[in-house]
Amino acid sequence: MGENARPFSRDWERLLDDAGLVSAADRGEAEAEARSLKSQGWLDLRTVRYKPHLIARVFIPLAVESRWAEAFGFTPPTDEEVRQIALYPWVPELLFLREARINIPFEDLQRLDRFLRNRSSDGAIVPVKERSLEIFGDEKRLDMLSASALFREGRLSLANLRCETVGEPLAWKRGPATAAHKPVIVLENAATWHSYARWNERTNDFSAVIYGGGNRFVDGVLFLPEIFRELGGERPVFYFGDLDPAGLAIPQRASRRSQACDLPSVQPHLWSYEKLLAFSSVASASADPDPAVEALCHWLGPLAGEAWRILFQGKRLAQEHIGWGFIMTKNTATEVAGSNYPTSSI
């Protein structure tokens, strides 16, 4: 290991986001486990300045990287395994293994080879976890391997293994018949989804009100074709969530994935965000501001500057501010909520 090697580290909030840990219970459990791993020497933690009870960043010390690799089955092959890999009669899809150095056990590579050698050319495409269980006896192993160098562009693909990542089902409520051809809206949290679904019964603005479920929407966006099929075709997809780094990252990650699958982009529902920004005076404290978050605000278009002014102060706004009570007491039930453009007349 070179003297300039640096320990692997991740921002805590982004790590939770990528892991799909959205609920307070899941996040609390993750924090307890992180502190336990620190006490056992597996991790180092950096806490938020002046808030030692909040985790800001996680580090894996260089000295224990090999322990992590071994625990997750990403260990460098031994000299004997390197020799075996170079001489093994791989199927065409795996011939690259003779030249590439892949930190995956020889046994796992052989399991993949056996599957590819015996697969039927007209075999059905199945969910990746089902294929993983078939090949490895572990439904999560293929998910882990798919993020490794084994699946780098030009090497192995899920298509070779006749499997695919399936979108997590999204809860949704169809809008009134008069809104059948209008856009759909996705809400990050359950309470706001419930209020917007009730509201839509009065305003007829959306053909469907969809519950995104926080970070689950990044996978769930692949379920949109099922909803479109029920609605009778594709239509614009609007999104409204919390005004914080995770709340802005989720729809943008989902949008990139959606467009990669030739589905509509995920657009901000500007009317909702404009209403939320009006609560800036009661924004709650969040983590220390991260300059990188400013780029996430660009997704909000004309509202980007105002959003960044709040996040720059280390604050956030929960989307629940725009709930049933607000809708009713502010007489917004008669407004054109389906409009996606902020205007002072709304």
Mean pLDDT, rounded, for 91-106:
88
CB 308 within 8 A of CB 294: yes
Task: Tell me the residue range of the domain where 100 lies.
Answer: 72-164
Examine the pLDDT at 328 and tell me if it is beyond 90: no
Q: Are strands 171-174 and 208-211 parallel, antiparallel or unpaired?
A: antiparallel
Contacts of 75 (CB under 8 A, 6+ apart): 66, 69, 103, 105
Q: CB–CB of 18/79 below 8 Å?
A: no
Query: Are 177 and 320 found together in one domain?
Result: yes
pLDDT of residue 5 exceeding 60: no
Contacts of 285 (CB under 8 A, 6+ apart): 314, 315, 316
Same domain flag for 326 and 195: yes
Q: For residue 280, name the pLDDT band (cuts at 50, 70, 90).
A: very high
Would 32 be classed as within a structural domain?
Answer: yes
Place of tokens 């150095």: 101
State the pairing for strand pair 51-60/8-11. Answer: antiparallel
Instruction: Return the DSSP state at 2.
Output: -
Mean pLDDT of the chain: 85
Tell whether the model's pLDDT for residue 345 goes beyond 50.
Answer: no
User: Which segments of 121-236 does DSSP mark as H helices, in order?
Assistant: 128-136, 141-145, 190-203, 217-220, 224-231
pLDDT at 343: 39
- Paired tokens of 185: 């809206």
Q: Which amino acid is at 202?
A: R
Which tokens belong to 46? 């950096």
Distance from C-alpha of 73 to C-alpha of 157, rounded to nearest angstrom? 20
Together in a domain, 321 and 177: yes
Instruction: Please give the DSSP secondary-structure letter assigned to residue 283.
Output: P
**From 20-34, 45-59, 263-277, 330-344, the region with the lowest mean pLDDT:** 330-344
Rounded-to-integer distance, Cα 330 and Cα 14, Å: 35
Question: Domain boundary residue among 124, 147, 164?
Answer: 164
What pLDDT sits at residue 341?
54
Q: Is residue 269 part of a domain?
A: yes
Query: Within this chain, do residues 192 and 315 fall inside the same structural domain, yes or no?
Result: yes
The C-alpha angle 212, 251, 326, rounded to 5 degrees, equals 65
Write down the pLDDT at residue 346: 27
Q: Cα 14 to chain center, whole Å?
A: 10
86-94 mean pLDDT: 93
Between 145 and 63, whose confidence is greater? 145
pLDDT above 90: percentage of residues in the chain: 49
Residue 342 lies in a domain: no
Specify the pLDDT at position 96.
Answer: 93
**Residue 48 shares a structural domain with residue 150:** no
Model confidence at 72: pLDDT above 70 = no
Q: Say if residues 150 and 104 touch (Cβ distance below 8 Å).
A: yes
Last residue of a domain, one of 44, 65, 86: 65
Count: domains in the chain: 3
Model pLDDT, residue 153 = 85
Residues 142, 206: one domain? Answer: no
> Does some domain include residue 2?
no
Do 216 and 88 lie in one domain? The reply is: no
> What pLDDT does residue 220 have?
92
* Co-location of 184 and 330 in the same domain: yes
Question: Are 184 and 267 members of one domain?
Answer: yes
Same domain? 41 vs 122: no
pTM for this predicted structure: 0.69
**127-138 average pLDDT score:** 93
Task: Please report whether residue 258 resides in a domain.
Answer: yes
pLDDT band at 74, cuts 50/70/90?
Answer: low
DSSP 3-state of 202 = helix
Q: Within this chain, do residues 217 and 303 fall inside the same structural domain, yes or no?
A: yes
